[in-house]
Amino acid sequence: MKELDRFNRFRSRQYDRPAKEESRLADMRRFNKRSFDIGPLHRFPSGAPFLKVAISVLIILWLCNASVPLSEVPSAQERFIQWAQVQNERTIQNLPGNTPEPESEMAKIINFSQTEQQTEIQNEIEAQVQAEQKAGTSPETAETTTSFKEYAKGELEYHTDKMSVSIEQKKKDGLTYYVCDIQLTDVSQLRTAFAGDDFKSGIYEAVSSIAGRYSPVLAINADFCRYHRNGVIIRNGELLRKQNITKHHLMIVDENGDMSVLTNRTEKQGLVADRLMKSNTWQTFEFGPVLVENGEATTLPNSFYVNTHDGYNEPRTAVGQIGPLHYMVIVVDGRREGYSTGCSIPKLQELFMDEHVQFAFNLDGGGSTTLYFLGKVINMPSGGKERSVSDILMFMPNPVKE
């Protein structure tokens, strides 16, 4: 008996099991009467699951197409127009009183009044045009002649015992540019400012808008440091960002106002910034490339953050140094046929070499290029108006009081 019990614990062999069909029918008899009566699966041919899914999908698509004609659903614009028409019908009301008949006396009076008003307006316009023609400033003259800015030599100057600025507008090889000679008495007169008056403000403003709050003698767009979001940023002696980066050159203004550049950026993060702060660095700018070092033209990189190849002409902004607290700014207008085409980086380098500077560095250009002098923009930004930027470089009339 024990041996038989041991064998009965195992599953029955194949020939001991009930027939497959009889087992399935027995299982179905155990279903509750309220259950759905599903036919035996063996009645479907081979591949039945796929066939059932395909038939179901076709039925669903047919029902959707029959109940919701998608091709006839109006677009969002058509629905808006229909809604607007309904709203207009609800809102617009007829004015009180009867509308005069076209040939009535009232209609003639109204038409005469409107014609009289139009005649008066036309006479005023003609009188204004005649007055402008006599003054030589007629609209026709303004449209057919250029409004390019022209400045005589000596027109743009500022001189005090604390500061001296001379700006000369020059023309060469189809471009118009401004050479700004600036002499200071203290490094604190070379200052920077941010849109929103805060490095972390996150907003952008025109150069004139930022400068208008500080009243510098001269201001230019700087390196748009908040746009590229990296690099070592020290402004007015304060460390604002210390990430090292390899794709820019770093211009340094030390505590004496002398300019230099750092092109090797392979040091670990933070080391460059810490070393510069220990040496009391006054300003840093992340852009480039460096154009002139020790009075000699540098070898321009073939691959850089900006295109450095000859023939790539754009508006440019750059700053350089002639001697102690003696600086030069060159602003090149561009993208304006008949006035200035802009220049390439090699051409910009050539312009600085013509001025015999000891150091020169390229800043942000293009639509950002702006030259602000004594309360107004004197160059012609390429976009027809100033581009909003994140930061500016300013030359102040007086040193900062300690």
Give the tens place of pLDDT for each residue, 102-137.
Answer: 455 555 554 555 455 555 545 554 555 455 455 544
Q: Is the pLDDT of residue 145 over 50?
A: no
pLDDT at 12: 52
Question: How many Å apart are CA 213 and CA 190, to the nearest integer?
Answer: 16
Stronger pLDDT, 23 or 74, i.e. the higher one = 74
**What band does 53 get if pLDDT is binned at 50, 70 and 90?**
confident
Instruction: Compute φ and ψ for 15, nearest 5 degrees.
Output: -75, -10
C-alpha 130/C-alpha 228 separation (Å) is: 53
Dist CA 298 CA 304 (whole Å): 14
Give yes or no for residue 164 having a pLDDT over 50.
yes
Please check whether residue 325 is in contact with residue 371, taking contact to mean a CB–CB distance below 8 angstroms. Answer: no
Q: Which of 221, 220, 224, 215 is nearest to 167 (CA)?
A: 220
The predicted pLDDT at position 58 comes to 81
Task: Compute CA distances 110 → 99, 100, 282, whole Å.
Answer: 11, 9, 74
Q: How many CB atoms lie within 10 A of CB 13?
A: 7
**Which tokens go with 24?**
């399935």
| Six-digit token string for 245 | 């980066």
Of 71-85, 156-170, 210-224, 366-380, where does mean pLDDT reach its minimum? 71-85
Separation of alpha carbons 221 and 310, rounded Å: 23
The per-residue pLDDT for 96 is 44
Least Cα distance to 230 among 265, 276, 279 occurs for: 265
Closest CA to 180 of 315, 340, 294, 322: 322
Return the half-sphere exposure (C-beta side, CA atoms, 13 A cut-off) of residue 138.
12
In this predicted structure, what is the pLDDT of residue 143? 34
> How much of the chain, in percent, has pLDDT values that exceed 90?
56
Which regions of 207-299 does DSSP assign to beta strands (E)? Answer: 218-221, 232-235, 238-242, 249-253, 259-262, 283-287, 290-293, 296-297
Quick one: pLDDT band at residue 51, thresholds 50, 70, 90? confident
Which of 258-272, 273-287, 336-350 bottoms out in mean pLDDT, i.e. has the lowest?
A: 258-272
Q: What's the token pair of residue 40?
A: 């035996």
pLDDT surpasses 60 at 55? yes
Residue 139's pLDDT is 34
Query: Where are the extended beta strands (E) located within 42-162?
Result: 156-159
Quick one: pLDDT at residue 144?
30
Per-residue pLDDT, 52 = 76
Q: Which segment of 2-16, 250-264, 266-280, 345-359 scores lowest on mean pLDDT?
A: 2-16
When pLDDT is cut at 50, 70 and 90, the band that residue 45 belongs to is low
> Residue 355's CB: how many other CB atoms inside 10 A?
15
Res. 169: pLDDT tops 60: yes
First to last CA, the chain: 111
Mean pLDDT for the chain overall = 80
Tell me, what amino acid is at 192? T
**Range 28-35 average pLDDT:** 54
Task: Give residues with Cβ within 8 angstroms of 98, minimum separation 6.
Answer: none
CA gap 224, 221 in Å, rounded = 8
How much is the pLDDT for 228?
80
Q: For 292-319, what is the mean pLDDT?
A: 95
- Over residues 33-41, the mean pLDDT reads 51
Distance CA 108, CA 57 (A): 71
Give me the half-sphere count of Cα atoms (radius 13 Å) on the Cβ side of residue 292: 24
Lowest mean pLDDT among 13-17, 228-232, 331-335, 386-390: 13-17
Mean pLDDT of 370-376: 97
Query: Is the model's pLDDT at 359 over the cut of 80?
Result: yes
Q: Is the peptide bond before 18 cis (omega within 30 degrees of 0)?
A: no
Is the pLDDT at 138 greater than 70? The verdict is: no
What is the rounded average pLDDT of the residues 347-358? 97
Report how far apart, in Å, the C-alpha atoms of 266 and of each of 184, 246, 306 are. 34, 7, 20
pLDDT for 386 beyond 50: yes
pLDDT over 90 (residue 32): no
381 — phi, psi (to 5°)?
-55, 140
Amino acid at 20: K
Please give the pLDDT value at position 80. Answer: 67
Nearest to 160 by CA among 356, 374, 322, 377: 374
CA atoms of 80 and 380, how far apart (whole Å): 43
pLDDT at 57: 80
Supply 294's token pair: 């020790």
Q: What is the largest CA-CA distance in the chain?
A: 134
Question: Mind listing the pLDDT tens digit for each residue in 212-261?
Answer: 999 999 999 999 998 887 899 999 999 999 988 888 999 999 999 999 99
Grouping H, G, I as helix, E, B as strand and the rest as coil, residue 199 is coil
Q: Which of 5-19, 45-59, 374-388 shows the lowest mean pLDDT across its residues?
A: 5-19
Using alpha carbons, select from 264, 281, 311, 293 the residue that is nearest to residue 362: 293
pLDDT in tens, 85-104: 665 555 444 444 444 454 55
Q: Is the pLDDT of residue 195 over 60?
A: yes
